Structure 1
Amino acid sequence: MSDRGQNKTGPLRDDELKRELRGQLPSGHETRAREERALEPSGEDQPAVDPMPVPPRPGSTPPGVTPREVELRGELARHLSRRAYPLHRDELVRTLRDHHAPDRLVDLAARLPDDRPYASAQDIARGLADG
């Protein structure tokens, strides 16, 4: 990686570079035994560079969404297609049964109020999580 020009790399070289960094990124420290392969430190007039500026958050949920909503949304997405929306409660229950959804999910959907259409899996998950 001593070439610092403007040349672009192809997918094979990208994969090779990923393999080279595979141990370093999760560990958060240098894993190279040979000094010439180590990442160079920042210059005196440059800010310190973190190889992984934002650590991954396993099991995290997006802001404003509960973990239960994420779980329900995933289950719904496995059993509903994008063409299915918007759905009312009865259509949702029928579609879930047609796609062999678990009884627990069908029972939850049957408890939803039928006074409004549901525009997405997230919308349904929010209703199920609230109920």
Structure 2
Amino acid sequence: MERGSSKHSPRLDDQMSQEVDGLIQGPGTAGSRVDEFREPEPAGEDQPEARTAPGGPLRSGSPQGMTSGDVEERSRLGRFIGLSALPGDRDTLVRNARDNDAPDDIVTALEGLPPGIPYRTVSEVWAALGHKNETTRW
């Protein structure tokens, strides 16, 4: 039988494999060998139970000056403007968005930009469309 590793003996390879089984399988599986210190501690008597992170603005981590919806929409816009289109003017952006199969609402918005003005970043395009970008913290 051909072995992939020659650094250890077969017996040591088997032993090392068994040592990590508990880490791979996790604490909820039968026969788990996870050390007790690796299992999460339960909440204390006066502490609430652990839950998933809340949704909405508390979870989003949106930058100052923007809502989580603004961040999502600017990101959506950026998915359809390739880096090869920047810097670019309105016609370049519209052509690139169409090449990237952008939805009609994004193409229509880009067609509403003034002609002949070069945009260097998606944030500049976003601002030219009348939206707010994050404010700079000093």
TM-score by length of 2: 0.49
Aligned residue identity for 1:114: P
Q: What do residues 10-60 of structure 1 show as CA deviations (whole Å, max 9, x unaligned)?
A: xxx8xx8xx855987xxx7576xxxxxxxxxxxxxxxxxxxxxxxx92235
Q: Is the 8 A contact 1:69 1:125 kept in 2?
A: no
Aligned counterparts of 1:29 and 1:67: Cα–Cα separation in 2: 27
Which secondary structure does the structure 2 equivalent of 1:80 belong to?
coil
Question: Is residue 89 of structure 2 the alignment partner of residue 108 of structure 1?
Answer: no
Instruction: Quote the RMSD (CA, aligned, Å).
Output: 3.7
Q: Is the 8 A contact 2:82 2:96 kept in 1?
A: no
Q: Which runs of 5+ in 1 are unaligned?
A: 1-12, 32-55
Structure 1 residues 78 and 101: alpha-carbon distance in aligned structure 2, compared to 1, 3 A threshold: same
Structure 1 residues 127 and 73: alpha-carbon distance in aligned structure 2, compared to 1, 3 A threshold: same
Which secondary structure does the structure 1 equivalent of 2:102 belong to?
coil
Which position in structure 1 is the counterpart of 2:31?
Answer: none
Structure 1 residues 78 and 30: alpha-carbon distance in aligned structure 2, compared to 1, 3 A threshold: same
Q: Is the 8 A contact 1:88 1:117 kept in 2?
A: yes
Residue 73 (structure 1) shift = 1.7
Aligned residue identity for 2:90: R
TM-score by length of 1: 0.52
Structure 1 residues 128 and 122: alpha-carbon distance in aligned structure 2, compared to 1, 3 A threshold: same
Structure 1 residues 112 and 57: alpha-carbon distance in aligned structure 2, compared to 1, 3 A threshold: same
> Where do residues 14-53 of structure 1 align in structure 2 (5 Å cutoff)?
20=39, 29=48
Aligned counterparts of 2:119 and 2:41: Cα–Cα separation in 1: 42
- More relative contact order in 1 or in 2 (CA 8 Å, sep 6+)? 1
> Where do residues 51-90 of structure 1 align in structure 2 (5 Å cutoff)?
57-67=58-68, 69-90=70-91
